[in-house]
Amino acid sequence: MLSRRRFLKSTAAAGLALTAQMPPHALAQVAPARPRRIIVDAQIHLWTANTPERPWAPGARPQTPEPMTIERVVPLIDEAGVDRVVIVPPSLENNRLDYAQEAVKRYPGRFGIMGTFAANDPSTARRFATWRQQTGVLGLRINIAENQAAWLTDGTTDWIWPAAEAARLPMMFLTTGQMNHFARIAERHPQLTLIIDHMGVSAATVSHNKAVETIDQSVALARFPNVSVKLSSVPLLSKDAYPFRDVTHHIRKLFDAYGPRRCHWGTDVTNSFTKATYKQRLIHFTEELNFLTEDDKDWIMGRSIMERLGWA
């Protein structure tokens, strides 16, 4: 009579022998399937029409002629197979979060928000301790516009970094060619999670022909483990049609510097809206960048931003 141990050994041996005799196509059929990839868009703007009841910021210029509403975005992400989206309220929303929060409430688990704030108002610091208690809010986002560049050196924004670090709030940030100033910030505040928007490149940076210089500044920040980068808004940077071959070396340079766990895919779809469909912006990363392994894509397309933001 076979003992249990001898039975298991003989069964395993028989299984191995059978597998060795199977042709490659049969082996492929029995190989375990890869877990489904979670896909997260690290940046989309949402906004409604400019009305007396909900006015835009003075002088605001939207990125598309029509508002980018929840009703427009949900079919886009559904068709592309995107699981989650990080909403960055645009500047025309006057730091309001209520419309982004409406998306969170209507589609539980699919939307998160990086709350915007007045960077020149230190009194905001007292709100940071309870910032994530707001519906759907995951962290902060700051955009230093071209006419605000001095704020990074004249003391205007000095209150932000220690306050955000103390509150453990991840921060996405964008400037117009002043990425180098964030080396000092990242070094002095090692517990502050900093996420570079759009490889560091804003529309104004492109218009001033400073994109390459700015990307090099973003690469230099990779030496700080608390900094990561969104490989987003690629069509803005490209002079080519899809699949934007002229930007590949920039993406590769940042990927090599940061690695897959500190790189985040995102569309920023309303920027350069007519240059590529929403789905093209996704398959650009999943099908066109042959230096990325499938494991790399798992991280870049979703896992890394969820980990970075603590978005369970």
pLDDT at 177: 87
Q: Which two tokens stand for residue 29?
A: 């059929």
pLDDT at 240: 95
Q: What is the mean pLDDT of each run of 10 residues along the chain (312 residues)?
A: 44 45 54 84 97 92 94 98 97 95 98 97 97 98 94 97 98 94 97 98 94 97 98 96 97 98 97 95 98 98 98 94
Number of domains in the chain: 1
pLDDT at 23: 60
| Distance in angstroms (rounded) separating the CA atoms of residues 121 and 119 | 6
Residue 102, classified by CB atoms within 10 Å of its CB into exposed (0-12), middle (13-18) or buried (19+), is middle
In a domain, 265, yes or no: yes
| Among the listed residues 226, 230, 193, the one whose alpha carbon sits nearest the alpha carbon of residue 215 | 230
In a domain, 25, yes or no: no
Prior bond to 108 cis, omega within 30? no
pLDDT at 34: 74
In a domain, 225, yes or no: yes
Buried b (16+ CB within 10 A) or exposed e, 183-222: eebbeebeebbbbbbbbbbbbbbbeeebbeebbebbbebb
Q: What is the pTM of this model?
A: 0.89
In a domain, 177, yes or no: yes
pLDDT at 287: 97
In a domain, 99, yes or no: yes
In a domain, 148, yes or no: yes
**Residue 78: which domain range?**
34-309
| Distance in angstroms (rounded) separating the CA atoms of residues 83 and 37 | 9
Domain containing 158 — which CATH number? 3.20.20.140
In a domain, 252, yes or no: yes
pLDDT digits (tens, 9 = 90+) for 124-133: 999 999 999 9
In a domain, 191, yes or no: yes
